[in-house]
Amino acid sequence: MKSKYKLLPSFYYNSVFSIPYDEFKKKNIKALFFDLDNTLLNSEEKQLNDKTKHFLKKLSSDFEIVIISNASLKKIKKNIFFEQLKYIYLNLFQKKPSAWGLKKALKLLNINSDEAIMIGDQLRTDIASANKSDIISVLVKPLNRQNESFITKLFRYFTENKFINKIKKIDHKEYNSKFKNFL
């Protein structure tokens, strides 16, 4: 879903649990690509909680589920808890915001970019890579901002906040629908 701003999400929801997946299913969405850290996995935890595991299993009856994360391979594998859950490991040169992982997932599933959604908590990585790949981008509020890495906090402060304030000034409607509850 092309936007004139590479960091502007197609949609915003408070959490992965509040996304209207049935609506996306009606629009022929076949795959959900999830970021791991602070989208599905609280930054204080090492493994997905039972609620999230049950939720992903339920979603897998209607969608292909793929974890696309900049996290370590060890951390990703620790959270692949059932066979239908797929993942794409991103090495140093393939990390988001590169579109490489999303394009690899599309190829793996043999689907087009308009049949997938990327869901994540960061504009600079998750949303930018989805927009580069012409995939619908869904921004969710981070599960826990307190324990984010120093680098993530820097990017949020210097990239995300600057961009969000720009949108607030030039397009208040867009700001209200996609960022008002994000900060």
pLDDT at residue number 4? 60
Is residue 37 domain-resident?
A: yes
Share of residues in the chain with pLDDT > 70 (%): 96
**Residue 139 near residue 182 (C-beta atoms within 8 A):** yes
Tell me which amino acid residue 61 is: S
Per-residue pLDDT tens digits for 92-107: 677 878 788 899 999 9
**Residue 122 near residue 143 (C-beta atoms within 8 A):** no
pLDDT at residue number 107? 95
Indicate the number of domains in the chain. 1
Per-residue pLDDT tens digits for 15-48: 999 999 999 999 999 999 999 988 999 878 888 9
Q: Does pLDDT of 118 surpass 50?
A: yes
CATH code where residue 92 lies: 3.40.50.1000
The pLDDT of 3-8, averaged and rounded, is: 76
Is residue 87 domain-resident?
A: yes
